[in-house]
Amino acid sequence: MSAALAVWSVRVEPGKKASLTAQSDIRISVAALDAELKDQSARSSVKLTYVTPQSIDEDEDEEESLPPTTSTILCSLTPGKIEHAPLDLVINEDDEVEFEVIGKNVIYLSGNYITQPMDFPADEDDSDGDLNDTDYDSEVDTAELDEMEHDIEQDDSHRFEEIKTDDEKEAQRAEESSSKKRPRESDAGESGIGGEQKLSKKQLKKLNKKLKAENGEAVPGGGSKEEESKKDVTKGEKKEKDAKKEKKDEKKKSTENGAQKKKGELKETPGGLKMKDVKVGNGKAAKKGDLVSIRYIGKFMDGKVFDSNVKPKEKPLRFRLGRGEVIKGWDEGIVGMQTGGERLLIIPPNLGYGSRKQDGIPANSTLRFDCKLLAIK
């Protein structure tokens, strides 16, 4: 599975502890003061609390107790002097950490996901489909492999011929020549009993060389109908090879085009919306005014899920595209999707809920949505 890069950030307010359980490996690369300062001169520090690693002692009693923690200061920022600080801290998957600001100003911690899995719950009961049905990695068709192996065996079947000694070849040619009774013109006057031609060893060798020609040209005089028939078979096999090779090239080209179609790059609009086509659909493309049906998973940038409609018996979200029935990031981000396609949307606050606090969504939140377009009407 290829590594996916996505932005991660968390807002740490004074007096409030920001707890985090990493759902994927996260790299924290910078700490910066908020654009709006509550105190123009006071220093604010970021405090990190994490579980202290312990060795396991088998002799100790197995009693449940809270694991010990350790606290440290990541950085200290002062308005007008040091307003941001570079960091290089990796939070591993499933690690539990806690951030706290000691001071009066809000501090943002930012970085990126090192790996970013796409986790979709199963939805076997919903006939409209489910995000879990998506295959994000290319799979090899077993039927195609069998066909390839069959083609290889067919191609190799006429590569090898039975090897005979010179004496055996001469004897075989002499026997064929005797049975066909086709004397060479130069030796027409030399015949044995019953008019059957008798050839010397030298003459047999010359005849053998002519019959063994495999360069595609006509066999010189003296060749038998059997040899001519053999050449016709060879030409037919060559045509069959060319046809199979052409068929394989077409399949390879089609596979490459399909793989390229599935891949997408993370693009950003002037308004700050980031989009990536995880899978391109095969149906018609959505445009403003269309009634679309969507399944989605909404997450914060730290990976925590705040909303979804992919559980069993949940109905897809239906809305009229471009009519303001959903947030601006959706009205812009769903345009151009094809039926059956899947797209990642990273929506900044100005295209989401802005400074308004929603149920379970803090103000000024950057949101991530994994969307699948089920139908267009």
The one catalytic residue in 296, 331, 334, 347 is: 296
Yes or no: say if 83 and 77 are a contact pair by the CB < 8 Å rule: yes
Q: Within 10 Å of residue 141's Cβ, how many Cβ atoms?
A: 12
- What kind and span of H or E run contains 149? helix 142-156
Question: CA-CA distances (angstroms) from residue 151 to 84, 156, 230, 236?
Answer: 63, 9, 22, 16
User: 300 catalytic, yes or no?
Assistant: no
What's the token pair of residue 252? 């390879």
**DSSP letter for each residue of 186-209:** GGTT-B-GGG-B---HHHHHHHHH
The one catalytic residue in 151, 319, 327, 361 is: 327
Q: Under DSSP, is residue 129 helix (H, G, I), strand (E, B) or coil? A: coil
The one catalytic residue in 34, 155, 290, 307 is: 307
User: 353 catalytic, yes or no?
Assistant: yes
Give the closest residue to 275 by CA, choosing from 347, 365, 327, 328: 347
Say which residues have a Cβ less than 8 Å from residue 27's Cβ, sequence separation at least 6: 8, 88, 89, 90, 91, 111, 112, 113, 114
User: 108 catalytic, yes or no?
Assistant: no
Give the closest residue to 264 by CA, choosing from 136, 140, 352: 136
The one catalytic residue in 130, 369, 370, 376 is: 369
**DSSP letter for each residue of 172-190:** HHHHHHHHHT---GGGTT-
Question: CA-CA distances (angstroms) from residue 19 to 91, 158, 304?
Answer: 13, 70, 11
User: 327 catalytic, yes or no?
Assistant: yes
What's the token pair of residue 43? 């220093």
Rg, C-alpha atoms of the chain: 38
Q: Burial of 235 by CB count in 10 Å (0-12 exposed, 13-18 middle, 19+ buried)?
A: exposed
Say which residues have a Cβ less than 8 Å from residue 52's Cβ, sequence separation at least 6: 67, 68, 69, 70
User: 50 catalytic, yes or no?
Assistant: no
Yes or no: say if 345 and 355 are a contact pair by the CB < 8 Å rule: no
The one catalytic residue in 113, 331, 353, 370 is: 353
The one catalytic residue in 306, 319, 334, 376 is: 306
What's the token pair of residue 239? 């045509």
Distance CA 303, CA 366 (A): 12
The rounded Cα 23 to chain-centroid distance in angstroms is: 21
User: 297 catalytic, yes or no?
Assistant: no
Which residues does the annotation mark as catalytic?
296, 306-307, 327, 353, 369
